[in-house]
Amino acid sequence: MSAAVQYVLYIAILIALAMPLGRYIKKVMFGERTILSHVLCPVENGIYRLMRVDVQKEMNWKEYAVSVGVFSAVGFVFLFAIQLLQGVLPGNPQGLPGVGWDLAFNTTASFVTNTNWQAYSGESTLSYLTQAVGLTVQNFVSAATGIAVLFAFIRGFTKVKETGLGNFWVDMTRTVVHLLLPLNLVVALALVGGGVIQNMDAAKTVKLLEPVAVSSEGEILDGAVIGEDGVVTVEGTVIDGARIVTEQFVPMGQAASQVAIKQTGTNGGGPMGVNSAHGLENPNAFTNLIEMISILLIPAALCFTFGAAVKNKKQGNAVFIAMLICLVLALGVIAVNEQAATPQLAQNGAVDLTASAQAGGNMEGKETRFGIASSSTWAAFTTAASNGSVNSMHDSYTPLGGMVTMLLMQLGEVIFGGVGCGLYGMLAFAILTVFIAGLMVGRTPEFLGKKIEPYEMKWSVLVCLATPIAILVGSGVAAAVPQVMDSLNNGGAHGFSEMLYAYSSAGGNNGSAFAGFNANTVFINVSIGLCMLFARFVPIVGTLAIAGGLAGKKRLAVTAGTLSTTNAMFIFLLIFIVLLIGALSFFPALALGPIAEYFACMA
Amino acid sequence: MNTWKNALPKALCMFVIFTLVCGVLYTGVVTGLAQLIFPHQAGGSIIEADGVSYGSEHMGQRFTRPEYLWGRPAKYDVTTFTDENGNALLYGAPSNLSPASDEYEALIGERVAAMRAANPDMGDAPVPVDLVTGSGSGLDPDVSPAAAKYQVKRIAKARGMAEDDVIKIIDACTDGRFLGVFGDETVNVLRVNLMLDGILKE
């Protein structure tokens, strides 16, 4: 019962916060006055002066795309270099060595593309300098890049017979200064108050209340007794060479500041290897509420920004409703399956799975403090958005629960999706929908008063298919490489799911994982890195090209013959097209993985 | 070609500015304010008694002795981290096992048997799921109230304590849901054990 209340409240809080934020972002986009203007506008103008940017100068779509590309390339080179050199740079109290080239390439591609796939484990691989000056910066700017491209795309609809789509440098500056910085300062401080760490100290060690006996090979000795004299025995036999571990490792660092932006910017890559399942990154239900709402806050708000910007609030609402319906359906399937657990866990009733004085259900890979409700909701949110942070291990979800998280990524990350990119991806699907609907009723397809012609269609198809191509080609090649088998943590159909999930995560720019999969090998690092870059930058070019085409057209008057793009029929069609492309692309692969596993486990 | 040349200096300039603002300034401001307003939380919520650091409130430890409350099973790791003298340090990792495989069924069967053997007074009562499943972090600081109550008789017997006194300590270390709704009820395992040992009072 209380679980049901949680699900409803999480969605309600999200909507209540997203609507006003959407209106605020619309003001930021057009440079209008907001309540923070008198503090932040001087900062914004200072940046323009330093950069010698002319705010009035508009870019055409090619100039905009080149600016995105050059800026991302600069970030790429810097982040790659700082990882290779972190061993000799300051800000490294743990004394960690430089990162290997393949892992550094993967991590760089991952953060520049707003994916934040973690082939690394933060606390044992990356220095504080790399985390703060490298990763955190990309968390900000890759998120801002997505939003900037969305702004340019929206201008394709608002402008009439023009070539300019706005100015990339201005859009970036406004997004970072007026939206991301103030929002994240508040979120980060709330998180620290809730117990997330934020310091410059080296990792601490603490005394274990119960020391742990370990064999000479580093294996924990189960059932070991540690004598007064330090002699270790197991069932009366003395174990030679056994060691006694008396202290625990407690990681430190600047978690709260990084967690805030990784959540709000749909980045997802955190300071800890286990991400927001770690007690120091997400210690309780309060921090979890903030982190989880932050996942979808900006992507949801941008729907309302879009409606306000094109002066057609109904259009923004229609897109929002389509996304929300898909999210709620997905969440429902995950929640039901996780609460029901599996026969393998139930042990014919020997394991108590009821929800009395405990969460019950499939608790494998889930933290006690989050139970089923807050874990399932996070899983749906993080894979609907291309966030990819986790507070539970998706690898240990039930076959169907895990499948839904995978499917949400395979749909192209358009159910809210990444900040900016989720909405422009969904709008490409909307263009596809009006085209198909137009064909069915024999009308010239148009969207928001702009005629949709072969040029827009070609690019839209490319935007919509970039994710399936990246996922299917990537996982297809990987399935043929023998050594990928060694990376699997589970056998059989679930092992295949681990690999499919990895490439789905890369192709959707999501970043979450079936984390038993050992992704830190040269082949996987490089291939996943390439998938992420393809799935990020091909749609950006396509989106800007469409915007360039649309901006140059005249606006058609709405007549009785215009197909409505805001009514229930259109919402239904849009969802249908999204699911159709996803299902057609991925049903065969899903049948080999989670669906096969489901039938095997129920048999 | 011209577009490239125009964009590069601006891209470099913007990248430097944002690295300073978002990487250095933002991180620095949050750290400064955190240390000022919430020094205990920002430092990892370390539980200290008589000058000894006994662990973070938010990180679980491994307990196997009958007189202690046990936490979630986990894949403990002693090979990744060492202190400055090279001594191994304990850390945790998630299992990432599929809950639908035959191997998993066998593993849970073993855990159920072990749990029942360790808690003979509970007879054939179903074992709370928290006690046989690994957590998301491998460092779950908590168990559910049901999992804690399941162990009361064993702890009381091993310590020669009254069961009511054990329950009192568990209740004192139980946190409700946030605002009565969000998350799940938890019992902090380390705090219970520190109180059982008399190291922590209340």
Return the half-sphere exposure (C-beta side, CA atoms, 13 A cut-off) of residue B25: 11
CB contact under 8 A, A220 and B78: yes
Mutation site for B-interface testing, chosen from A39, A178, A208, A209 by largest number of B Cβ within 10 Å? A209
- Which residue does chain B place closest to A257, by CA atoms? B27
pLDDT, position A32: 94
CA A172 to chain centre: 20
- Alpha-carbon gap: A329 to the closest alpha carbon of chain B (Å): 21
Tell me whether residue B10 is in a domain: no
Q: Which of A137, A350, A399 sits opposite B18 (nearest CB)?
A: A137
Mean pLDDT over A175-202 rounds to: 96
The answer to whether B137 contacts A254, with C-beta atoms less than 8 Å apart, is no
Residue B1: closest CA among chain A residues belongs to which residue?
A66
**Per-residue confidence band for A156, with pLDDT thresholds at 50, 70 and 90:** very high
Whether B96 and A396 lie within 8 Å, measured CB to CB: yes
Closest chain B C-alpha to A369 CA, distance in angstroms: 5
- Is B182 close to A289, i.e. CB distance below 8 A? yes
Asked if the model's pLDDT at residue A559 lies above 90, the reply is no
Name the token pair of A332. Answer: 């429902």
> In angstroms, what separates the C-alpha of A472 from chain B's closest C-alpha?
23
pLDDT at A188: 97
Q: What percentage of chain B reaches a pLDDT higher than 90?
A: 87
Query: What is the structure's pLDDT at A240?
Result: 86
Pull the structure tokens for residue B146.
């049901």
The two structure tokens encoding residue B20: 């300073």
Q: Answer whether A373 sits within 8 Å of B145, measured CB to CB.
A: no
Residue-level pLDDT at A271: 86
The rounded Cα B10 to chain-centroid distance in angstroms is 46
CB-based contact A546:A428 (threshold 8 Å): yes
Say how far apart CA A352 and CA B189 lie, in whole Å. 20
SS3 A510: coil
Q: What is the pLDDT of residue B22?
A: 95
Per-residue confidence (pLDDT) for residue B37, from 0 to 100: 96
Please report the pLDDT score of residue B1 as a whole number: 54
pLDDT of residue B187 exceeding 60, the answer is yes
pLDDT bracket for residue B26 (50, 70, 90) = very high
Does the structure show a pLDDT above 70 at A486? yes
The pLDDT value recorded for residue B111 is 96
Nearest Cβ partner of A207 from B27, B54, B88? B54
Distance from CA of A38 to the nearest CA of B (A): 19
Q: How confident is the model at residue B5 (pLDDT cuts 50, 70, 90)?
A: confident
Kindly report, residue by residue over A2-11, the tens digit of the pLDDT: 789 999 999 9
Residue pairs between chains A and B whose CB atoms are closer than 8 Å: 416
The SS3 of residue A157 is helix
Taking CB atoms and an 8 Å limit, are B138 and A399 in contact across chains? no
The three-state secondary structure class of A509 is: coil
ipTM: 0.95
A interface mutation test: which of B80, B84, B91, B184 has the most A CBs within 10 A? Answer: B184
**What number is the average pLDDT over the span A197-207?**
93
**A347 neighbourhood in chain B, CB within 8 Å:** 105, 108-109, 112
pLDDT digits (tens, 9 = 90+) for A522-545: 999 999 999 999 999 999 999 999
Q: How far apart are CA A520 and CA A526, in angstroms?
A: 10
Average of per-residue pLDDT values in chain A = 93
B164 within a domain of the structure (yes/no): yes
CA nearest to A524, candidates A124, A120, A69:
A120
Contact B184 A359 (CB under 8 A): yes
Extract the tokens encoding A569: 């029929």
Q: Nearest CA to A355 among A372, A343, A342? A: A372
How many Å from the N-terminal Cα to the C-terminal Cα in chain A? Answer: 30
Hey, what are B125's tokens? 């009562």
Is B186 in Cβ contact with A279 (below 8 Å)? no
Contact residues on chain B for A392, CB-CB shorter than 8 A = 136
- Chain B residue closest in CA terms to A376: B183
Task: Say if B15 falls within a structural domain.
Answer: no
Q: Which among B31, B63, B134 has the least Cβ separation from residue A198?
A: B31
Contact B53 A199 (CB under 8 A): no
- Selected for mutation to probe chain B from A76, A368, A394, A498 (highest B CB count within 10 Å) is A368
Is B18 contained in some domain?
no
Task: Quote the CA–CA distance of A572 and A550 in Å, as a whole number.
Answer: 25
- pLDDT tens string A280-302: 999 999 999 999 999 999 999 99
Burial of A93 (0-12, 13-18, 19+ CB in 10 A): middle
In this prediction, residue A73 has a pLDDT band, given cuts at 50, 70 and 90, of very high
Neighbours of A399 (CB within 10 A): 24
Cβ contact (<8 Å) for A212 and B19?
Answer: no
The confidence score (pLDDT) of residue A1 equals 60
Residue B93 to chain A, least CA–CA distance (Å): 8
Judging contacts by C-beta atoms under 8 Å, the chain A residues touching residue B112 are: 347, 350-351
Domain that holds residue B145: 44-196
Domain count, chain B: 1
Q: Do B12 and A74 touch (CB under 8 A)?
A: yes
With CA atoms as reference, report the closest residue to A198 among A249, A251, A136, A255. A255
In this structure, is residue B83 part of a structural domain? yes
Query: What does the pLDDT read at residue A118?
Result: 86
State the DSSP code for B142.
E
Instruction: Give the confidence band of B30 by pLDDT, cuts at 50, 70, 90.
Output: very high
Indicate yes or no: CB of B23 within 8 angstroms of CB of A223.
no
